[in-house]
């Protein structure tokens, strides 16, 4: 069974801080005429874009600036707005109602933008203690040679949203922070630790925008024919059932910007990873009929930003945080009671849980031959069926996380999958040495086996092997959200602090006790397996 890639998507745009006001000046007739002319030009541009449909539309740099200059209207309250009309704030992934971990941006709808074309870099992220919390040791904004790291970490995940009958681009990315006092503890934007609050942020938004776009469509009848393109020559080499290849010799200044593939019925096709060797491009694509190639001059637009968190005293900030926690407080649950190590149910579950986990990990491995075949089959499914499977995955995994009582402010089904995937890299000895397995009764005939990571054993293990940075961030967030609160009173004042624990619950698997005394492992992927059988 192939698991689709799950991202921590955002379901709503949540900005905190001061509002923003848009207004038009009416000081003189000349200004009013300029505004009318600007509105007419924007209307013409939007008409051109609408007529292009899903195709690329060639714009100049000045026309991009014109589109970006439009106000977004009421309802959006960012922390700051760049000169290019881009609004910025901070927020958090779906199901995380406490820690604000992401930088979020919103800007007017412009064409020719997709994943990998918009990035956010940071110069600093300061706390009220004056220290810079930006992590410069793990995933960083700047590469060793001083250039910006335009990679998967700094690029934004983009989504279209609609408000007031208009569409906008919304993007977000995780911000990597570490406590500068120990250079180790992972922090997040909304939880710098102790009494320290977020104070000031500075950075820039970067867009890679194509201008002077031109396209060329190649058909099966063009195989072997040299055609002038982008100051060079392009030749369609061959089209097979599962691949297409072409050769591009470029002696001009422009480069290939994008391409789209269609079958004989003009349905757009998905493609795999493209390889290139001395101008020969190999494209994994099934049943291609035509390919349209685009050339463009790509310009780099930079929009610097900086903002400070003002307007709230420490008491007001503390009150706001407590109100947020109160609003999102989960119902009280009884203190968990764990089975004794001599309990027959404990012994039964403990004897098999590692094998069940290993089997679960193996069955979900996308590199298995049977899973690769299944993935190929799924690519032929209608979009509706693919979306149905995605919905089943998200719903069933969320239910599993809730029933296993794993769900916290930062732990959802995405976290479950990330932790599960990390176990694939560990051998059984690592699981046995770094994790304490505890079993408890959830209710009636339902039991759960919990894997509690031993911080001391884990520290020794990662000292020998480099850790997965992204996984360690997940784990640190889990530790932050699951830390125990201790309240002490000094001179009549009550204080609350987080107490680190040696063990942290990372994942859990559920079991059902049958009437005949046997145990059934409740596979979290069973709903997807049942769906795939139909």
Give the domain range for residue 118: 29-206+303-312
| pLDDT of 360 above 70 | yes
**156-193 confidence digits (pLDDT tens):** 888 887 766 678 898 888 888 888 888 777 788 877 87
Stated as kind and residue range, the H or E segment containing 427 is none
Per-residue confidence (pLDDT) for residue 419, from 0 to 100: 77
Decide: 436 and 503 in contact? Cβ < 8 Å: yes
Residue 480 lies in a domain: yes
Residues 127 and 268 in one domain: no
Residues 375 and 475 in one domain: yes
Residues 56 and 150 in one domain: yes
Residue 266 lies in a domain: yes
**Section 320-330 average pLDDT:** 44
Question: Residue 223 maps to which CATH number?
Answer: 2.40.10
Residue 317 lies in a domain: no
Residues 363 and 292 in one domain: no
Alpha helices (H) in 288-437, listed in sequence order: 314-327, 344-363, 369-379, 383-403, 413-423, 428-434
Q: What is the rounded CA–CA span in Å between residue 288 and residue 249?
A: 22
**362-399 confidence digits (pLDDT tens):** 877 777 888 888 888 888 888 778 878 877 887 788 78
Residues 263 and 197 in one domain: no
Residues 175 and 229 in one domain: no
Per-residue confidence (pLDDT) for residue 109, from 0 to 100: 87
Per-residue confidence (pLDDT) for residue 399, from 0 to 100: 82
Residues 392 and 463 in one domain: yes
Per-residue confidence (pLDDT) for residue 217, from 0 to 100: 94
Residue for token digits 């204080």?
495
Q: What is the rounded CA–CA span in Å between residue 455 and residue 502?
A: 5
The SS3 of residue 23 is coil
Residue 8 lies in a domain: no
3-state secondary structure 145-172: CCCECCCCCCECEEEEEEECCEEEEEEE
Greater pLDDT, 262 or 331: 262
**Section 472-485 average pLDDT:** 52
Q: Within its chain, how far is the Cα of 73 from the centroid?
A: 27
3-state secondary structure 186-223: EEECCECCCCCCEEEEEEEEEEEEEEEEEEEEEEHHHC
Residues 193 and 230 in one domain: no
Residue 19 lies in a domain: no
Per-residue confidence (pLDDT) for residue 493, from 0 to 100: 40
Residues 163 and 237 in one domain: no
Residue 165 lies in a domain: yes
Decide: 255 and 210 in contact? Cβ < 8 Å: no
**Section 215-230 average pLDDT:** 92
Decide: 510 and 447 in contact? Cβ < 8 Å: yes
Beta bridge partners of residue 435, listed in sequence order: 453
**Section 36-62 average pLDDT:** 85
| pLDDT of 297 above 70 | yes
Residue 23's pLDDT band (boundaries 50, 70, 90)?
very low
Q: What is the mean pLDDT of the chain?
A: 76
Residues 433 and 415 in one domain: yes
**What percent of the chain lies above the pLDDT cut of 90?**
20
Count structural domains, the chain: 3
| pLDDT of 7 above 80 | no
**Section 99-109 average pLDDT:** 85
Whole-number Cα distances in Å, 290 to 75, 261, 264, 376? 44, 6, 7, 21
**454-478 confidence digits (pLDDT tens):** 776 666 655 556 555 455 555 555 5
Per-residue confidence (pLDDT) for residue 468, from 0 to 100: 52
Residue 523 lies in a domain: yes
Per-residue confidence (pLDDT) for residue 12, from 0 to 100: 24
| pLDDT of 400 above 80 | yes
Residues 272 and 174 in one domain: no
Query: Rg (Cα) of the chain, in Å, rounded?
Result: 27
Q: What is the rounded CA–CA span in Å between residue 256 and residue 212?
A: 12
| pLDDT of 318 above 50 | no
Residues 371 and 445 in one domain: yes
Instruction: Name the least confident of 127-131, 491-495, 522-526.
Output: 491-495
Per-residue confidence (pLDDT) for residue 495, from 0 to 100: 39
The residue count for the chain: 534
Residue 41 lies in a domain: yes
Instruction: Name the least confident of 99-113, 220-234, 305-319.
Output: 305-319
Greater pLDDT, 480 or 277: 277
Domain boundary among 282, 312, 342: 312
């Amino acid at each position: 069974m192939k698991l689709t890639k799950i991202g921590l998507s955002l379901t709503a745009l949540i900005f905190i801080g001061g509002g923003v006001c848009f207004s038009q000046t009416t000081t003189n007739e000349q200004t009013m005429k300029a505004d009318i002319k600007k509105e007419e030009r924007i209307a013409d541009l939007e008409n051109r874009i609408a007529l292009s449909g899903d195709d690329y539309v060639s714009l100049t740099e000045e026309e991009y600036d014109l589109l970006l200059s439009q106000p977004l209207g009421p309802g959006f309250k960012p922390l700051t707005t760049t000169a290019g009309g881009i609004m910025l704030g901070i927020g958090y992934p779906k199901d995380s109602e406490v820690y604000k971990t992401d930088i979020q941006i919103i800007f007017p709808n412009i064409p020719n933008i997709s994943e990998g074309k918009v990035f956010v870099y940071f110069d600093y992220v300061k706390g009220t203690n004056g220290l810079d919390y930006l992590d410069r040791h793990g995933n960083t904004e700047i590469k060793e040679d001083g250039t910006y790291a335009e990679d998967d970490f700094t690029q934004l995940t983009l989504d279209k949203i609609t408000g007031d009958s208009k569409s906008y681009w919304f993007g977000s990315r995780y911000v990597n922070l570490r406590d500068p006092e120990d250079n180790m503890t992972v922090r997040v934007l909304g939880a710098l630790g102790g009494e320290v609050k977020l104070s000031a942020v500075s950075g820039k938004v970067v867009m890679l925008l194509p201008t002077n776009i031109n396209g060329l469509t190649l058909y099966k009848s063009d195989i072997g024919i040299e055609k002038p393109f982008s100051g060079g020559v392009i030749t369609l080499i061959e089209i097979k059932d599962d691949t297409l290849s072409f050769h591009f010799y470029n002696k001009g200044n422009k480069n290939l910007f994008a391409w789209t593939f269609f079958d004989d019925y003009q349905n757009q096709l998905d493609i795999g990873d493209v390889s290139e060797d001395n101008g020969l491009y190999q494209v994994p694509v099934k049943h291609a009929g035509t390919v349209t190639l685009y050339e463009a001059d790509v310009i780099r637009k930079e929009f610097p930003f900086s903002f400070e968190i003002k307007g709230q005293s420490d008491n007001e900030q503390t009150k706001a945080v407590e109100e947020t926690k109160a609003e999102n407080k989960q119902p009280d649950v009884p203190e968990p009671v764990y089975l004794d190590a001599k309990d027959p149910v404990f012994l039964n579950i403990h004897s098999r849980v590692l094998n069940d986990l290993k089997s679960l990990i193996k069955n979900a491995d996308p590199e298995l031959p049977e899973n690769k075949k299944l993935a190929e089959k799924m690519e032929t499914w209608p979009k509706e069926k693919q979306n149905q499977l995605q919905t089943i995955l998200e719903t069933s995994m969320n239910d599993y996380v809730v029933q296993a009582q794993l769900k916290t402010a930062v732990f959802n089904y995405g976290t479950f999958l990330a932790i599960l995937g990390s176990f694939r890299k560990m051998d059984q000895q690592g699981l046995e040495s770094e994790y304490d397995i505890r079993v408890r009764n959830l209710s009636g005939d339902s039991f759960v086996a919990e894997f509690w990571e031993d911080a001391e054993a884990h520290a020794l293990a990662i000292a020998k092997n480099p850790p997965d940075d992204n996984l360690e961030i997940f784990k640190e967030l889990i530790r932050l959200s699951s830390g125990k609160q201790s309240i002490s009173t000094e001179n009549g004042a009550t204080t609350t602090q987080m107490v680190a624990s040696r063990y942290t619950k990372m994942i859990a698997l559920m079991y059902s006790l049958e009437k005949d005394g046997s145990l059934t492992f409740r596979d979290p992927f069973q709903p997807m397996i049942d769906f795939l059988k139909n």
